[in-house]
Amino acid sequence: MSEQETPKARPAVRTLSDLARIAGVSAGTVSRALAGNSLVNTATRERIVALARDHGFRPNKMASSLRRQKTDVIGIAIPLGHDSRQQISDTFFITLLGHLADALTERGYDLMLRRVIPERDEDWLDRFIGSGMIDGLLVIGQSDQFDRIEDAADGYLPMVVWGNHAEGQRHCVVGTDNRLGGRLATERLIESGARHIYFLGDTSAVEFAARYAGALDAAGRSGVTVTPLTSHLSSDRLEAEVAANLDRSFERGDAIFAATDTLAIASLARLKALGIAVPDQVRIVGFDDLPLAAQTTPPLTTVRQDIRAGAFAMVDLLIRRISGEDTESIVMPPRLVVRRTA
């Protein structure tokens, strides 16, 4: 079709050269003018800028990226666990994503979001890194991909991961001290009378494994039992899974340490349905301190992570890494928020 689709009766000006022709200058000058390069004569620049506006010209970012070898795009990878629909719907990750979006937008970056299913795509990390589409990569959650992330980090500096920090690890991570958080939560449960604690969460994810380890730390000192109960974060199955676990196990337990608030809230609902009193019969502590946690009935006792601070830290580190600095990881202290469930 050679017919104009634009309401304006002019031939669309889509490229720098189009605009250059109209302005009676060279493409180079247009490029410089639009970039605000001080070399161009002010009058020329203003004329070109006006022309660009009038004709609705937008430079093609692909071409620019290719030429500059810089895309101004940050990749965000969300590794999903075995269960292909795990986690992305988890409120915590989503909240983190929102803050990352804030922080990156503020710094002039676009976000390229990619959900990855490591089981189905072994090569997810290198593929994303090598795509040439991104200037840096943020990974939200290590899932069970710790080793693969380590490998990638050896050859790729501009990557920051949200997750757990292990002694001597090579990738740059921002996260909460999960083990300490787990200990705080469990200590609280014990203080409020727990003897048989269920840890609800998937310990194959390293963050959760650390929380579980913290629970064991706390229990070790007091003779309290801590039993892991695998529960995934998939929103469609979460409720059923929690229900099944609790129904089956609760004659024996008197407390739940849920790996996330989402899980804690689901448990709370289930216990209510079962007619089990919280915290009198069963105590619950969550993890994250989502806004929601304050609004449950009774309000949830939980371990707070400062998600917003974490997101901004990730972006800050990433930008420093993009400019070549080999930054250290940041481990943030968790804080126990005592409400009414324990």
Partner DNA sequence: ATGAAAGCGCTAACAT
Partner DNA sequence: ATGTTAGCGCTTTCAT
| Shorter beta-carbon distance to a copy of itself: residue 186 or 296 | 296
Please tell me whether the peptide bond between 279 and the residue prior to it is cis, using omega within 30 degrees of 0. Answer: yes
Per-residue x/- mask for DNA, residues 42 to 81, rule CB under 7 A? --xx-------------xx--xx-xxxx------------
CA dist 318 and 265 (Å) reads 33
CA distance 90 to 236: 11
Give the interface segment with a copy of itself, choosing from 33-41, 105-113, 274-282, 330-338 (CB under 8 A): 105-113
Position 9 contacts DNA (CB under 7 A):
no
Dihedral-angle region of residue 183 (phi above 0 means left; psi in -120 to 50 means alpha; beta otherwise): alpha
Q: In Å, what is the CA distance from 122 to each residue of 127, 136, 157, 159, 258?
A: 9, 20, 20, 18, 30
- Looking at the Cβ atoms of 31 and 143, the one nearer to DNA is 31
Q: How far is CA 43 from the centre of its chain?
A: 46
Closest CB to a copy of itself among 64 and 327? 64
Q: Which two tokens stand for residue 106?
A: 């503020």
Query: 132 pairs with which residues across the strands?
Result: none
Of residues 254 through 273, those in contact with a copy of itself by CB under 8 A are 265-266, 268-269, 272
* Residue 323: contacted member of DNA, a copy of itself, none (CB under 5 to 8 Å, by partner type): none
Contact window for a copy of itself (CB under 8 A) among 130-138, 161-169, 193-201, 243-251? 130-138
Binding-residue total with a copy of itself (CB under 8 A): 54
Per the DSSP assignment, residues forming a β-bridge with 258 are 200
> How far lies 137's CA from each of 57, 64, 109, 173, in Å?
30, 20, 12, 12
| Sign of torsion over alpha carbons 302, 305, 307, 309 | positive
Q: In the complex with DNA, which residue's Cβ is closer, 29 or 164?
A: 29
Contact 282, 254 (CB under 8 A): yes
Say which amino acid occupies 322.
I
Residue 114 vs residues 6, 105, 117, 137: alpha-carbon distances, Å: 34, 17, 10, 11
Residue 21 touches DNA, criterion: CB under 7 A: no
17 sits near a copy of itself (criterion: CB under 8 A): no
Of 64 and 327, which has the nearer Cβ to DNA? 64
In the list 29, 245, 305, 341, the residue contacting DNA (rule: CB under 7 A) is 29
**Contacted by 39, from a copy of itself, DNA, none: CB < 5 to 8 Å by type:** DNA
Which amino acid type is present at position 9? Answer: A
- In the block, tokens 């940041």 appear at 330
Which one of 21, 47, 83, 133 is in contact with a copy of itself (CB under 8 A)? Answer: 133
Q: Would residue 36 be called left, alpha or beta, if left means φ above 0 and alpha means ψ between -120 and 50 degrees?
A: left
Cβ-based nearer residue to DNA, 60 or 297: 60
| Residue among 14, 21, 85, 195 that touches DNA (CB under 7 A) | 14
Q: Is the dihedral of CA 185, 188, 189, 190 positive or negative?
A: positive
x/- mask, DNA, residues 117-156, rule CB under 7 A, reads ---------------x------------------------
Q: Using CB under 7 A as the criterion, which residues of the chain lie in contact with DNA when the complex forms?
A: 14-17, 24-29, 31-32, 34-35, 39-41, 44-45, 59-60, 63-64, 66-69, 132
Q: Using CB under 8 A as the criterion, which residues of the chain lie in contact with a copy of itself when the complex forms?
A: 2, 5-8, 56, 58-63, 65-66, 71, 73, 85, 88-89, 91, 94-95, 97-98, 101-102, 105, 110-115, 126-127, 130-133, 154-155, 235, 239, 265-266, 268-269, 272, 291-292, 294-297
